[in-house]
Each structure stands twice: as C-alpha cells, then as structure tokens.
Chain A
Amino acid sequence: MTDAHLTDQALIAATEGGLPLTATPYAEIATRLGVSETAVTDRLRAMLADGRIRRIGAVPNHYRLGYTANGMTVWDVADDRVMDLGAAVGQLPFVSHCYLRPRVPGLWSYTLFAMVHGRSRAETDAHAAAIRALLGDALRAGEILYSTRVLKKTGIRTAGRQPVKETS
C-alpha cells in the first residue's frame, strides 16, 4: 500500500485493539500497513479534527476505578423541548452518553437516555435528581435502570462485525 491508498478502514483495523506499547507505535503501525509514519499520524490527526476519532488515550474500565453505580436514566420528555433539554443534559459532567431514542407504542415510552456514573447509588441518585430538576415541567416520567451484571463487554470492533454468521 502506498500512502495515497491508506484507508480509514485499514487504520481503524490496525489500531482499534489499541496502540502498540513500543517506543515508536505509529512507525510500527505504518510498517504493518506498508505506508509511511507521517501518513499514519497525518490521518489520525485529520480524523481527530473532524470527529471520526473522539480522542486518543486511556480507556479505563470504569468499574475498576470505583464507579460501580452505573445508572441508565431514561426520561419521557415533551417532544417539542427534548432537543434543547437533551443538549443541556449532555453537558452535565457526570453524564457519559446522552441520546434521543424512539418510543415503541405499548412497550417503551422514554425518549431521552442519559448514562450516569457514581461511586455509590446515593451519588448516582443525586445525579438523576439533578437531571430531573433540569427537565422541569417538560418531564412526564423518568426512571433509573441500574446495571446489576455485565453479561458481555467486548466493545465495538470491526473485526467482529463481519456479516458472516454460520447459522444465517
């Protein structure tokens, strides 16, 4: 591969498991891909700039840092205010993920999802109370769904996402 042929996909596949823990990790990736080191670092820099990469660095296991009270807070918010309020909730420092999701008639009525993390349920409950206060009179109902067990956590990997399942 020449520098001009370096694809995002190849770079993602080469780094999604993590950077090599050697003195010159980018040079090592470049060698593996058959491109120059600057092609790798230039591409990573461009992907950071436009948001295809969120950040480069440490990804902690939050349980092991003591954040054991992880609550998925879900809120039924007036549709005409959820975009503004969702943006405000997403700015709260203890919120890690904040999404708008659909209602499913008869099964699911909450549209605003915000993951909150604390070192105790009391701390996480207090975070949820802060969200409740922020949502104010636009809020119809809300709940916290605490995780009680991690059943699987492999992360999103392109390598595991090939559409090849034997049974299908």
Chain B
Amino acid sequence: MSDTAMEYDSIDRAIINGLLDGFPLSSRPYADAAASLGITEEALLTRLRSLLERGILTRFGPLFRPESIGGLAILAALSVPAERFDEVTATVNAYPEVAHNYQRDHRWNMWFVVATATPDRAWAVLAEIEAVTGLTVVALPKEHEFFLDLRLTA
C-alpha cells in the first residue's frame, strides 16, 4: 500500500472513473464503452488487462450483493497479543471462508469477515477460531445496511 505514485495515466483514470458503473449489457459492450471514452475497443481491452495485472483494479464485472448469493457474512474482531499476531493471522487466514482480514490500531486489532453459503457454517467457523486460538471472538453480524458501495475515483 506504499506505492501510491501515479501508476496510471489520464486514459487509465478516464477508464476507471468512467466505468465504475453502467457497463453496457450489449453484444459488444467493450466497443460501446470504448466509444463513449473516445478510444478503440482493443485499446480498452488492453488497458483493462493491464490495470488488472497491475492490481489497480481488483476485478472488472458485476458486483453482487452478498445476500443475493444466499449466504451470510459476519464481521468479527479479535484482540491478539503482539507476540501471537503472526500465528493467529495464519490460523484465521487459512479458512477459505475468511474473505478479508485487516490489522487495525486498536485493542481489537484484528478484523475479519467470514462469508459462507449457510449461516450455520459462518458461526461454526467463528467457534472454531475461538477454540483453536483460545481468544474471544467478538461477532458483529450486520443488523441493518444503510449503504454499501465503494466508488472512489482515481
């Protein structure tokens, strides 16, 4: 996260900002999107491949609501002693059900999301993590969603 220099040029920026939403549902969507950006279809495809390869974009495609997939995502926190941080990180990250995990500067210093196809499985993963680490898991399933989207511009 340190390499935040401008790794993308003005065309990349126009692509990122112009295609956050509304990608056409047409037969030649890249051609249509490229036309609105004033570039060619091939140029757009090449640029997108490069942005994805370089990790500036994580994905290009539909962004599904987790509930529409029928599962459950639970935010959970652990308070991990510094000397155990790497060990507990390895334990938590080993679960494929852990979608992401962040270290945060707080007494509750590890925050992760467990996303599973069934609610029972999500709670089972949290119980296992608690049993294996011997640490208390604070589970904070959402009770209401006011807003969720990330549309930061380049």
Contacts and interface: CB of A to CB of B under 8 A. Distances in A.
B27 A156 contact: no
Interface residues of B, number: 90
B35 interface: no
Contact of A18 (B59, B136, B139): B59
Contact of A59 (B27, B59, B93, B118): B59
A155 B99 CA distance: 5
Interface string B101-145: 111111010111101111001001100100000001011111111
B45 A21 contact: yes
Interface string B139-154: 1111111111111111
Contacts, number: 271
Main secondary structure of the interface of A (DSSP, over half): mixed
B11 interface: no
Given A53-B68, A64-B55, A108-B140, A23 B146 contact: no
A90 B147 contact: yes
Contact of A53 (B29, B31, B63, B71): B63
Interface string A144-168: 0111111111111110111101011
A56 B142 contact: no
Contact of B100 (A18, A21, A155): A155
Interface of A: 8-9, 12, 15-19, 21-27, 37, 41, 44-45, 47, 51-68, 72, 83, 86-87, 89-91, 95-102, 104, 107-108, 113, 117, 143, 145-158, 160-163, 165, 167-168
